[in-house]
Structure 1
Amino acid sequence: MEAPDRNLALDLVRITEAAALSSGRWLGKGDKEAGDQAAVDAMRLSFNSLPIDGTVIIGEGEKDKAPMLYNGEHVGAGGALKVDVAVDPVEGTNLLAYGRPNAISVVGVAPKGTMFNPGPSFYMQKLVVPAAAKDVVHLDAPVKDNLTNIAKALDKDVNDLVVFVLDKPRHKQLISEIRATGARIQLHTDGDVAGSLMAIDPRSEVDLMMGTGGTPEGVLSACAIRAMGGEMLARLDPRSKKEEQALIDAGIDIREIYTVRTLVKTDDTFFAATGISGGTFLKGVTYTGQGATTHSLVMRGKTGTIRYIDAQHKWDKLMRFSSVKYD
């Protein structure tokens, strides 16, 4: 099919804004299910206004486990434009529930048939770097070699690099190896989509991301990484015998190394992310008696355009046109 000319990213940001505005009310209240549900409801309603025939490739899970925005669900008002959709209404539900930074709402879209479907894979090993370092890294290279090459490509000393790593027991050895090089580390409890975005965002102090995170999150991140010209090297990394056997049964080679070009097979990607809880990446939702302010990152891969959008939302006017419930 012909690549769509419409900049869907500007439509998608209204979807992530709605999800952030709805879920932000649950900041620090300790109920991650309620916060996620609020975001899902808002996002699903907002999709209904888009003239697309979308299929959710990366969603909340299988239909029987996630009644809304499940993998395989059709979204949009319909039309000739057929697209694959990746969503994470609240990336970092625990971050939102416990009032921690960097919970975000995220959506990615690409022409139908171009997104990698992770199937039974839940985890993948990832290395994410900005455009300047995309040709100097290898997933199987020693940590020291990769960091040395990245530092040279970024015109930095290794001691000045900042590496995003999820603070998980599985990364004990990785953290030791990074520290041995002298590089600095930002440890985060959750949020590897945010970590991928920080690694490629020129405004961020993070230089790269390393470690094992979610496979669906990897595909979602790839929509943005392609737009920014960065690179993600990844390999499926099953964390249980059950997951490994499911991949074998599905005929998936767990030794294969993926890139952004195999995770999303087109430059014609659209991506939007809106901050919910705030932090080092995107500011969170702030509420007033009359409305709220949101902060978003919007990208179109085809043109390479990146927008940072600060939006003022007025309740009295917004509620005349929106069916999304914000309070």
Structure 2
Amino acid sequence: MFAPDRNLALELVRATEAAAMVAGRWMGRGDKNMADGAAVNALRYMLNTVSMSGVVVIGEGEKDKAPMLFNGEHLGAASSPEVDIAVDPIDGTRLTALGLPGAISVVALSEKGTMFNPKNIYYMNKLVTGPKAAKVIDINLSPAENISRVAEVKGKALDDITVVVLDRPRHDELLAEIRSAGARIKLIPDGDIAGALLTCKDHGGADILMGIGGSPEAVITA
């Protein structure tokens, strides 16, 4: 059975660190494809040195469209633990190309056969908050009700609640609902994995993430 392991975690940190460092050489140079390609190469190389036997469940795409880190690729340098892998060499390629903050390199593992594969579901409606309020939110409730519940659990006034939302035209109605509820909004141009993680930190500067974004990023965040 797969269980969290400190040494494995550190090996994964080294892998994402390598991807971030090589991608950083392309920061601000206006070519997101070169930045992504560099990160893919570095991440794949490092993951193949990790003591695991993994299969990419969420990667860069299907084998015929992604030569490396494709869905179904086997990675690792050992026969165990057997794991499912989700990768995003750069969540925020455009941010990197433009020299903006907020891009990160991410790897997630789970026991073999347990990772949700969204397949042809490309977008999901997302609702993320930290551990203090995780049990009181419900994606079927209105934004106003979820904001109110989080505020109550965290002991905050409504106007002290900050909601992270991707800056997209599809969110115009959501933004209006959030403001009507009395909360603040932190708009992010890209990279909702990093935005979601802000809500999980005591001093991350955000309380909730809401809105529609990519399915692979949703699984990695979870």
Which category of TM-score, normalised to the shorter sequence, fits these structures?
over 0.9
Query: Which one-letter code corresponds to 2:181 in the other structure?
Result: T
Supply the distance in 2 between the matched residues of 1:21 and 1:169 (Cα, whole angstroms): 33
Distance 2:216 2:5 in 1: 26
State the Cα distance separating 1:140 from its structure 2 match: 1.7
1:274 alignment partner in structure 2 = none
What SS class does the counterpart of residue 127 from structure 1 fall into?
A: strand
Q: Which amino acid aligns with 1:6?
A: D
| SS of alignment partner, residue 220 of structure 1 | helix
The equivalent residue for 1:13 is 13
3-state SS of 2:146 partner: helix
Structure 1 Cα separation of the partners of residues 58 and 100 of structure 2: 24
Structure 2, unaligned stretches of length 5 or more? none
Deviations 1:245-285 (A, max 9, x none): xxxxxxxxxxxxxxxxxxxxxxxxxxxxxxxxxxxxxxxxx
Q: Does 1:45 align with 2:45?
A: yes
Paired residues for 1:282-293 under 5 Å: none
Give the corresponding residue for 2:29: 29
- Structure 1 residue 47, shift from structure 2 partner: 1.1
Letter in 2 for 1:205: G
Distance, in Å, in 1 between the alignment partners of 2:107 and 2:216 is 12
**Pairing of 1:225-240 with structure 2 (within 5 A):** none
| 1:205-284 matches, cutoff 5 A | 205-222=205-222
**Distance in 2 (alpha carbons) for counterparts of 1:158 and 1:4:** 39
Within-5 A mapping of 1:72-221: 72-221=72-221
The CA distance in 2 between the partners of 1:120 and 1:110, in whole Å, is 21
For residues 154 and 75 of structure 1, the distance between their equivalents in structure 2, rounded to whole angstroms, comes to 41
The residue type paired with residue 198 of structure 1 is L
Q: Which moved more, 1:61-70 or 1:24-33?
A: 61-70
- Identity value in percent: 50
Deviation of 1:132 (Å): 1.2
The alpha carbon displacement at 1:5 in A equals 5.9
For structure 1, which segment, 16-25 or 44-53, has the greater mean C-alpha deviation from structure 2 after superposition?
44-53
Secondary structure of 1:200's counterpart equals coil
One-letter amino acid of the counterpart of residue 220, structure 1? I
Does structure 1 conserve the Cα–Cα contact (< 8 Å) formed by 2:164 and 2:188? yes
Q: 1:29 aligns to what SS in structure 2?
A: coil
Identify the structure with bigger relative contact order (alpha carbons < 8 Å, sequence gap 6+).
1
Using the TM superposition, give the Cα deviation of residue 81 of structure 1 relative to its aligned residue in structure 2, in angstroms.
Answer: 1.5
| 2:84–2:113 CA contact under 8 A, matched in 1 | yes
Q: Is the 8 A contact 2:53 2:74 kept in 1?
A: yes
Q: Distance in 1 between matches of 2:67 and 2:162?
A: 39
Q: Aligned equivalents of 1:159 and 1:4: distance in 2?
A: 41
Aligned length, in residue pairs: 221
TM-score by length of 1: 0.66
8 Å CA contact 2:2, 2:110 repeated in 1: no
Q: Which residue of 1 aligns with 2:2?
A: 3
CA drift at 1:14: 0.2
Letter in 1 for 2:51: P
Consecutive unaligned residues of structure 1, counting only runs of 5 or more, are 223-327
- The amino acid across from 1:183 in the alignment is A
Q: CA RMSD in A?
A: 1.0
Q: Distance in 2 between matches of 1:107 and 1:19?
A: 11
Amino acid at match of 1:22: V
Contact kept in structure 1, 2:2 and 2:83, CA below 8 Å: no
Q: Deviations over 1:118-163 (max 9, x none)?
A: 1111100010011111122211212211111110111100100110
